[in-house]
Amino acid sequence: MNCPGAGVTIRRMNAVVYTDRDQRRVSRVVRDLIRSRELFVDLVWKELRIRYRYAVMGFLWAILEPVAMMVILTFVFTMVFADKAAAFRGGDTRPFAVVLLCGLVPWQFFATGLSKGVQSLVDNQNLIKKVHFAREIVPLASVSTCLVNFTIGFMLLVLVHVVLGGSIGVGLVWFPVVFAIEFVMVIGLVLLLSCLNVRYRDVGYIVGVAIVFGFYATPIFYTLDLVRHLGEAHPVLVRLYMLNPMALLIGAFRQVLFENRFPDVSLLIWPGVAAAACLAIGVVSFRRSGPLLSDYL
């Protein structure tokens, strides 16, 4: 249909049916997402523009942030607690800064992706109240935006690794594979928690606290081996610890980086299962409550 007034050709008319059941059907997720792909790109762009707007240094913060964390933590654990840290690390000869950064970069993605993703629906309520579209793309876009920071962090990691005498090889291709598991897990969690957060804003605070807790319950400034060594003294605690998929994933990341090989399968099975479960639960629960989100915003 061509309209002389606007000069824009519109697409073929397609009927949308709004009923309680129809819009909540899980089977429609993929189709809805494909339809909303252009909007998804818009949203990612929007997030990127907003993230460092009004910051004088702009995108430099994507580098400065992990560097600053690395410097601080390296300083604390190699200077302040110098003698304790030596005992802590046992015979590990790998440079602490690289070990730290290798845990920090994936963790930062997990933490920022989760916290921003959980808030994304509330932050973008203006868009949700405007028209009908697949609401999933809002948290998806929010998490995807964090990929940019992760990529920058990853390049920084490789750089520091090389500078401090490490070697890189073909084995590094396994890094994105491990990361894919983490990504799927974050998406699943965000889908589940973001719509829950719309109804119960407590969720956002709980996630904030959980992230702080997770920072210590994940081998970031220490190694997974250290925890394993504690296994004989506190078997139950360690078993609980190992339920944290991020702990295993960071172990896997370190194996990929330092040993240039596919990580131990034992480190991937549980996170893989957990990620798949999160995604399934996330998608289903989001489908159930997604169309009614605007009622709570």
Partner 1 sequence: MSIIEVDRVTKRFRPRRSMRAMFGRGGLTEILRGGEGAHQTALDDVTFTVEPGDSLGIIGRNGSGKSTLLKVLAGVTLPSSGHVTVHGRVASLLELGAGFHPMLTGRENVYLNAGLLGVRHAQVEELFDRIVEFSGIGDFIEQPVDTYSSGMYVRIGFAVAAHCNPDIFLVDEVLSVGDEEFQGKCRQKIRELREQGKTIVFVSHDLSTVSALCDRVVLLEKGRMISRGSPKKTIDFYLRRIGRENGIHTMQEGRLESVFSHGRLSMYRDTDEVSGFSGFQAQVNCLGRWHNASEAQWEILERAENRCVARGTMMRLPLQYIWDMRLENGHLVWRVSLECERETAVEATEINLFLPEGYDRWHYGALAGRFPEILSSDITWMTVAPPSLECREVAALPRAGAALPPILATMATDNPQATLVWQNTDHVAGCRVLQVYAKAPEGQKTIAAGRHDLATLDVDFESGLDHIEARLKEAERRRTLRRGGLEARFHEGHIEIRHDGRLLTAAIHGYTSMLIGNLWADSPNLRWGAVEQTASSLRVSGESRRFPFRQDWEIAIEEGRVRLDIWLEALEALEVQEYHTSVLVVSDYIEWETEHERGEFPEFTAGVEDWVHANRNYAPGAWIVARGASVPALTLRSALDDVPFRMTAINAGHHQQARVLQALRTSEGSPLRFEPGRYHYFSGAVEVADA
- For the chain, the C-alpha Rg in angstroms (whole number) is 22
Nearer to partner 1, 214 or 291 (CB): 291
CB atoms within 10 A of CB 98: 23
CB atoms within 10 A of CB 192: 22
Note the helical H segments in 124-262: 125-128, 137-163, 174-199, 202-216, 224-229, 235-242, 245-259
Report the distance separating Cα 26 and Cα 23, nearest Å: 9
SS3 284: helix
Side-chain-side CA neighbours of 177 within 13 Å: the count stands at 16
> Residue 275: which residues within 8 A CB-CB, separation 6 or more?
181, 182, 184, 185, 188, 245
Rounded to a whole number of angstroms, the minimum distance from the CB of residue 293 to partner 1 is 8
Side-chain-side CA neighbours of 257 within 13 Å: the count stands at 28
- Applying CB under 8 A, the residues found at the interface with partner 1 are 3-8, 10-11, 13-20, 22-24, 38-39, 42, 46, 49-50, 53-54, 124, 126-133, 200, 291-292, 294-296
Name the residue among 117, 226, 113 with its Cα closest to residue 179: 113
Rounded to a whole number of angstroms, the minimum distance from the CB of residue 194 to partner 1 is 17
Nearer to partner 1, 85 or 292 (CB): 292
Nearer to partner 1, 51 or 228 (CB): 51
Rounded to a whole number of angstroms, the minimum distance from the CB of residue 128 to partner 1 is 7
Rounded to a whole number of angstroms, the minimum distance from the CB of residue 16 to partner 1 is 5
> Which helix (H) or strand (E) covers residue 89, if one does?
helix 82-89
Nearer to partner 1, 258 or 296 (CB): 296
| Angle at 31 (CA atoms; ends 47, 196), nearest 5 degrees | 55
Rounded to a whole number of angstroms, the minimum distance from the CB of residue 126 to partner 1 is 5
Rounded to a whole number of angstroms, the minimum distance from the CB of residue 24 to partner 1 is 8
Report the distance separating Cα 206 and Cα 84, nearest Å: 32
Rounded to a whole number of angstroms, the minimum distance from the CB of residue 190 to partner 1 is 19
Rounded to a whole number of angstroms, the minimum distance from the CB of residue 20 to partner 1 is 6
